[in-house]
Amino acid sequence: MPAAVTDEQNRSDRETLLDAAENLFYENGIQAVGMDKLRAASGLSLKRIYRFFETKETLVVAMLRRRDQRWRRSLAAYVDQVADPRERVLSIFDWLAEWFAEPGFRGCAWINAHGEFAPSSEAVLAEVRTHKRAFREQIETWVLAAGATVTEPVYLLAEGAIVTAGINGDPAPARQAREAVAALLGSSCAEVTGV
């Protein structure tokens, strides 16, 4: 019985640490957050922190991986509730607008990490690329289901909206990108049907 308690405590402590790291890294930047700040925010000793993650880099990779799963799952849940395939593609930008308007929005965590670590950390760079590839694949699935062939422009408009909103602190780029995608979908669907 004590082993199960220990395993549960390990899972709980690890999640607590990842929560603290994600909040601090996203709010302040990764390089600006020292291990003492992580210790204070998580309530875990440095020894315990290093038992979970041998380096700050491995902690960053784990945090980005966990955030990716939650972020893309949230996007999919939002988009998949829309019945019409064309509107489903457009709803990507509605979801982005809601995200951009959240208090504390600081842009894309993966682009931020890339800016702080590239090219010095192959592990962080690989995690950023994995996230971007998976996001593009999500978009491709919805675009193809709408009978369109504009995956790359839709993906680039989404990425551009994320970066611009992060820099400007304004959710308007989501609406502007949505309008551009509506036009792209209109012309792409017309080409496919020959209208």
DSSP string, 50-104: HHH-SSHHHHHHHHHHHHHHHHHHHHHHHHHT--SHHHHHHHHHHHHHHHHTSTT
**Residue pLDDT, tens place only, 77-93:** 999 999 999 999 999 99
pLDDT bin (cut points 50, 70, 90) of residue 191 is: very low
Report helix, strand or coil for 194. Answer: coil
Per-residue pLDDT at 15: 96
Compute the average pLDDT of residues 184-189.
75
For the chain, which domains are there? 1-54 (1.10.10), 61-190 (1.10.357.10)
Per-residue pLDDT at 24: 97
Distance CA 35, CA 46 (A): 7
**Residue pLDDT, tens place only, 134-147:** 999 999 999 999 99
